């Protein structure tokens, strides 16, 4: 399987080639991401988690395909995370809080229609993402097996959780992908307000050496943004 850098390069080259042949405008946006995870253990028991808020920034083109349809790839930096306010679960300590950073590339197919004095835009498509790291903390020590790793530290994303340093917490695999949908309203020809939803398909649960836990952890988020098209 191609790694994240190769996939990103291939998508970038494909989009870059098309930009030379289509009518293109550009979008810059900033917003608040309300993020969470869907996590289960091997038995299928689901953990109750709370959402965490973070900022996200995005830049990308609107590539016209026809009067009503366009293609909108983007490069997004997003602060994500979640909270566990109850007891310990699947290696999380009491009141566990994770704040993470991701670089993501959504690619939306967008339909637009005139509504009032502006345009309503509805888009769907896939996204790929890569976890850069983050911070974690709890109100009680986190135990991995019988080893306590403290009450706060750095978050790392690795495919193998056995490869780490004391105090670091491996939250999962770095490579993420899933599906998304968005609704924007464009007014005065340049200004955007919007909402978007992402649901991770990739199981981010890491292995531990040759051992696989059988659990799962998947990202999901709701974003509210403002933007400018130029």
For residue 142, pLDDT over 50 is answered with yes
Enter the pTM of the model.
0.84
How far is Cα 199 from Cα 139, in angstroms, rounded to an integer?
29
Look over the chain and give the mean of its residue pLDDT values, rounded to a whole number.
86
For residue 116, pLDDT over 70 is answered with yes
Q: What's the CA angle centered on 218, arms 106 and 202, to 5 degrees?
A: 60
Tell me the average pLDDT across 198-210: 91
Tell me the average pLDDT across 30-46: 90
- For the stretch 179-189, pLDDT in tens is 999 999 999 99
Residues comprising the chain, all counted:
230
For residue 88, pLDDT over 50 is answered with no
Burial readout 130-151 (b: 16 or more C-beta within 10 A, e: otherwise): bbeebebbbeeebeeeeeebeb
Q: How far is CA 93 from CA 73, 86, 96, 97, 224, in A?
A: 38, 9, 5, 9, 30
* Structure confidence at residue 199 (pLDDT): 98
Structure token pair of residue 200: 């991770």
> Rounded to 10 degrees, what is the CA torsion of 58, 220, 95, 139?
-40
Backbone angles phi, psi at 110, to 5 degrees: -120, 130
Rg value, the chain, Cα: 19
Tell me the average pLDDT across 27-55: 92
């Amino acid at each position: 399987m191609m790694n994240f850098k190769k996939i990103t390069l291939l998508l970038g080259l494909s989009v870059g080639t098309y930009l030379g042949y289509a009518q293109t405008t550009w979008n810059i946006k900033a917003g608040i991401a309300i993020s969470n995870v869907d996590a289960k253990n091997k038995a299928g028991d689901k953990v109750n988690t709370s959402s965490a808020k973070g900022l996200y920034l995005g830049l990308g083109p609107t590539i016209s395909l026809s009067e009503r349809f366009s293609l909108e790839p983007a490069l997004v930096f997003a602060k994500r995370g979640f909270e566990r306010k109850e007891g310990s679960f699947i290696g999380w300590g009491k009141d566990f809080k994770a704040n993470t950073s991701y670089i993501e590339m959504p690619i939306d197919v967008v339909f637009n229609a005139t509504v009032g004095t502006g345009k309503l835009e509805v888009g769907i498509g896939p996204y790929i993402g890569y976890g850069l790291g983050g911070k974690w903390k709890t109100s009680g020590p986190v135990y991995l097996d019988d080893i306590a790793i403290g009450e706060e530290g750095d978050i790392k994303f690795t495919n193998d959780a056995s490869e780490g340093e004391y105090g670091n917490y491996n939250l999962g695999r770095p490579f993420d992908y899933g599906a998304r949908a968005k609704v924007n309203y464009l007014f005065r020809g340049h200004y955007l307000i919007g909402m978007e939803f992402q649901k991770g398909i990739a199981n981010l649960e890491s292995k531990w050496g040759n051992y696989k836990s059988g659990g799962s952890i998947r990202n999901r988020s709701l974003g509210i943004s403002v933007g400018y098209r130029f």
